[in-house]
Amino acid sequence: MQTIRVDTPSAKYGVIAGSGLLETLAPRIERVVGRLPRRVFVLTSAPIWALWGDCMQQSFQDAPVVLFLEPGEKHKTLASVEKLARQMAQAGGDRGSLLIAFGGGIVGDVGGFLAAIYMRGIPCVQVPTTLLAQVDSSVGGKTGVNLPEGKNLVGSFHHPLAVFADISVLGTLPERELRAGLMESVKAGIIRDRTLVRFMEEHADEVLGRDPKALEKVIAASIRMKAGVVNQDERENGLRMILNLGHTVGHALEQATGYKTLLHGEAVGWGMVAALYLARQRGTISKAQLERLENLIHLYGPLPPLKLRLSKVVAATGGDKKNVGGVRRFVLPVGIGDAGIVEDVTAAELEAATKYLLARAGEKTAS
């Protein structure tokens, strides 16, 4: 069991990662909030509740009120938030109520946002159940929902009182979700933690085989990296941007494939391949480092093959025109375990990096 501290100007809390946290959740929350309030709400989705609901509820003396969000990104909407807020009001939710978000990143983002605005803000606790949510979305206080015009366009910063990342719940996570989430851990290693890179290289079998000790190590290291960055730059004015390694091109790939073919982590995996190529071209990583890190990405793949037109992907990055303020911002690895932000990526460089990744992703189709 490991506890990592988030300590920002607006919030201080612990992120606890380890096995068997669910069974003792209520007393653990009480240790943070004092006595549990009269109304405790759990936001989850039906498949997660069917698998883990009994285990999660067992330590509560009074059963919490369970609210359900339909699974899938298309339900991460303001309409869902309104519906859930009304259910809370009807069930007697007041300013002292507590909301526990129990699920993947979608439940966490919607639950966090609901808690941020219900009666102008109530406390929440995050209990993430996917690897991605444990290492990334539950930590750092970003919450929100999508609009038809784009992802995460409405939201707020609302930190939880605590995060409990129970590694045991990953036992039922589909393999593909596990691998995709691990791309964010690969990212964590590349930008800030060469020991994590080495560990993930040497222990891929244990990590992918869900050995609890190996998973705890990777998850705790990834959380430590994210918390460390958030502690220095809560509102993403500078350093926090390095968490976007692989995300400029990754988001473009998600958009160009209509959010249907790729899981987020898979898109980030391919996006990192493009960033590595660009870093190699600029000489911030060596050829050997490029090969090593690309191998690591594929070790935690397989990333789905892609058949996309170069111009479509480049257009989706917004890179065919200059971004606001005339800069094309990119996170580039510097060696292994460090990264920097560059703002002068040329259209030609972006095209070359995208071309490289599409060639790689095409090779995968052929093999």
Question: Which amino acids are annotated catalytic?
Answer: 120, 142, 184, 226, 236, 240, 244, 247, 251, 264
In the complex with ligand NAD, the residue whose CB is nearer, 275 or 350, is 275
Site for ligand NAD in 262-301 (CB under 6 A): 264
**What is the C-alpha to C-alpha distance for residues 124 and 113, in angstroms, rounded to an integer?**
10
**What is the C-alpha to C-alpha distance for residues 52 and 55, in angstroms, rounded to an integer?**
5
Would you count residue 163 as binding ligand NAD (CB under 6 A)? no
Q: Could you tell me where the beta strands, DSSP code E, fall in the chain?
A: 2-7, 12-18, 40-44, 65-68, 98-103, 124-128, 142-147, 150-157, 162-166, 330-333, 339-342
Would you count residue 45 as binding ligand NAD (CB under 6 A)? yes
Q: What is the CA radius of gyration of the chain?
A: 20
Would you count residue 130 as binding ligand NAD (CB under 6 A)? yes
Of the candidate spans 24-32, 44-52, 119-127, 354-362, the one that interacts with ligand NAD by CB under 6 A turns out to be 44-52
Which residue do the tokens 């971004």 mark?
323
Q: What is the CB neighbour count within 10 angstroms for residue 29?
A: 22
The residue among 183, 184, 169 whose CA lies nearest residue 47 is: 169
Of the candidate spans 2-10, 98-106, 229-237, 357-365, the one that interacts with ligand NAD by CB under 6 A turns out to be 98-106
Would you count residue 251 as binding ligand NAD (CB under 6 A)? no
Of the candidate spans 21-29, 100-108, 298-306, 311-319, the one that interacts with ligand NAD by CB under 6 A turns out to be 100-108
CA distances for 234 relative to 167, 228, 239, 329, angstroms: 26, 10, 9, 19
Q: How far is the CB of 179 from ligand NAD (least distance, A)?
A: 11
Would you count residue 150 as binding ligand NAD (CB under 6 A)? no
Would you count residue 183 as binding ligand NAD (CB under 6 A)? no
Would you count residue 222 as binding ligand NAD (CB under 6 A)? no
Would you count residue 177 as binding ligand NAD (CB under 6 A)? yes
**What is the C-alpha to C-alpha distance for residues 93 and 166, in angstroms, rounded to an integer?**
27
Would you count residue 173 as binding ligand NAD (CB under 6 A)? yes
Q: How far is the CB of 243 from ligand NAD (least distance, A)?
A: 8
Would you count residue 160 as binding ligand NAD (CB under 6 A)? no
**What is the C-alpha to C-alpha distance for residues 222 and 284, in angstroms, rounded to an integer?**
23
Long-range pairs for 247-251 at CB < 8 Å and ≥24 separation? 247/271, 247/331, 248/275, 248/317, 248/319, 248/329, 248/330, 248/331, 249/274, 249/275, 249/313, 249/317, 249/353, 249/354, 249/357, 251/316, 251/317
- Residue from the set 20, 27, 47, 209 that interacts with ligand NAD by CB under 6 A: 47
CA distances for 22 relative to 109, 173, 207, 348, angstroms: 20, 16, 21, 50
Question: Which pair of structure tokens corresponds to residue 204?
Answer: 């891929």
**What is the C-alpha to C-alpha distance for residues 207 and 204, in angstroms, rounded to an integer?**
5
**What is the C-alpha to C-alpha distance for residues 246 and 238, in angstroms, rounded to an integer?**
17
Of the candidate spans 94-102, 165-173, 280-288, 342-350, the one that interacts with ligand NAD by CB under 6 A turns out to be 165-173
Would you count residue 129 as binding ligand NAD (CB under 6 A)? yes
Of the candidate spans 59-67, 97-105, 299-307, 344-352, the one that interacts with ligand NAD by CB under 6 A turns out to be 97-105
Q: How far is the CB of 49 from ligand NAD (least distance, A)?
A: 10
In the complex with ligand NAD, the residue whose CB is nearer, 46 or 359, is 46
In the complex with ligand NAD, the residue whose CB is nearer, 275 or 358, is 275
Would you count residue 136 as binding ligand NAD (CB under 6 A)? yes
Q: Which residues contact ligand NAD (rule: CB under 6 A)?
A: 45, 47-48, 51, 71, 73, 76, 103-107, 109, 129-130, 132-133, 136-137, 140, 142, 151-152, 169, 172-173, 177, 264
